Amino acid sequence: YRNGAKVVRSFKPDFVLIRQNLRDAGEDYKNILLALKFGGVPSINNINAIYNFQDKPWVFAHMMEIQKRLGKDNFPLIEQSYFPNHKEMLSAPRY
């Protein structure tokens, strides 16, 4: 704000290289990725892939679909468990 009026600044980069995850312990940068996609900004990495890979359970579910098509011998995966939140993890069986 300058003199009581909101100052809006914008820019459009020629291209981007995304080097970090969309989320970390304290921040979520999904809004920036969406803005880049909406603005048609070219990216060295595939913006669609970055968006689709932001949730590991989503990616693993797709890999399980591939495994069903190809077979476990042709597309082996390390077994994983999904917990919808941290409370569910606390009641999980111990190994």
**Residue among 10, 33, 8 at smallest CA distance from 23:** 33
> What residues pair up with 23 in beta bridges, in sequence order?
28
Residues 32-58 have pLDDT tens digits of 999 999 999 999 999 999 998 888 899
Cβ(67)–Cβ(77) under 8 Å? yes
Mean pLDDT score of the chain: 87
d(CA 13, CA 42): 9
Integer Cα distance of 43 and 85 in angstroms: 33
The segments of the chain whose pLDDT lies below 50 read none
Question: What residues contact residue 66 under an 8 Å CB cut-off, 6+ apart?
Answer: 75
State pTM to two decimals. 0.63
Please tell me the predicted confidence (pLDDT) of residue 91: 65
- Res 1: pLDDT: 67
